[in-house]
Amino acid sequence: MGDERVMVFGPAPQLTITVEQPADHVEIHVHPGGQGVWQARMLVNLGVDVVFCTALGGELGRVLRPLLEAEGVELLVVERETGSGGYVHDRRDGHRDEIADVPGHPLSRHEMDEIYDAALAAGLRTPVSLLSGPPDASIVSADLYRRLATDLGTHGGQVVADLSGDYLTAVLAGGPAFVKVSHQELLDDGRAADESDEALLAAMRSLCADGARSVLVSRADEGALALLDGKPYEVDTPRMEAVDPRGAGDSMTAGVAAVLTRGGDLETAVRTGAAAGALNVTRHGLGTGRADAVTTLAERITLRAL
């Protein structure tokens, strides 16, 4: 069957502390968080081995290390001289109230060199590399993403990117195999004139012209749009009763990467990604979901040619 691993580049995970009150008692939940963490978690849930490449430092970094190891990933750590980030949220009233949010200090030039080398070495040993963004643009240079996408792709790796802003622009220059982005990110970045199908498809074609081979655009409660090897599709996904809408896009990207690393086709990858994203909103906890439930739901998802 070959190597079925994914290298997840998550340079700046955060320690997450959430206060909840589901009944008459208060609960405190402590987890590793951040886009790359949630994507890695879903990949593990889907039965894919993950090499998680990251940088950790300071007091929060010492707490994050065992929590990341408990996620079931192979942890590849660059030691930071400065501290990792974290946040505290209070959700006792059903809403997410931010108490504190510290993204972490910027990586030094030496630390960026080290994490680039570590990610490149790990990515060259896996069929798919998933590049996720930091919580703040000050932490990691966008050009590092360009170089990483370029060098991995040049040497036969498939790069999957879930990025926006300058990071998306940078990674496009490296010719990624698959880009996932939300329609809101396309609007915020000025890549789409509005949220109509026509405007989003035009933006997707522009992303492909700039370097992406295939593009998937999530649209919150509406079906996603996909441009796969130049062919446009609407992804017809059954509506699910939402518990927490956050994290659906990250789970979607993880589902795509899981299929690609196993040698699956693009349409199956998109159906699996859509199923993972739809299932995630039915659960408490980002990047979670049973593999059998994802597989069953994926069978109900269709791609309609546009």
Per-residue pLDDT in tens (0 to 9) along the chain, 306 residues: 347 899 999 999 999 999 988 888 999 999 999 999 999 999 999 999 999 999 999 999 999 999 999 999 999 999 999 999 999 999 888 788 999 999 999 999 999 999 999 999 999 999 999 999 999 999 999 999 999 999 999 999 999 999 999 999 999 999 999 999 999 999 999 999 999 999 999 999 999 999 999 999 999 778 899 999 999 999 987 676 555 556 588 999 999 999 999 999 999 999 999 999 888 766 555 556 678 888 988 899 999 999
**What was the pLDDT predicted at 2?**
47
**What was the pLDDT predicted at 1?**
38
- Sign for the pseudo-dihedral over CA of 253, 256, 259, 263: negative
**What was the pLDDT predicted at 222?**
83
Closest CA to 222 of 182, 280, 273: 182
Q: Helices 165-172 and 142-154: crossing angle, nearest 10°?
A: 30
Structure tokens at 84: 């990792």
| pLDDT tens sequence across 230-254 | 999 999 876 765 555 565 889 999 9
DSSP-assigned letter for residue 178: E
Residues 8, 32: contact at Cβ < 8 Å? no
Taken in order of first residue, the domains within the chain and their CATH numbers are 5-305 (3.40.1190.20)
Residues 137, 165: contact at Cβ < 8 Å? yes
Q: How far apart are CA 195 and CA 213, in angstroms?
A: 22
**What was the pLDDT predicted at 246?**
61
| pLDDT tens sequence across 65-122 | 999 999 999 999 999 999 999 999 998 887 889 999 999 999 999 999 999 999 999 9
**What was the pLDDT predicted at 240?**
60
Q: Residue 290 CB: number of other CB atoms within 10 A?
A: 12
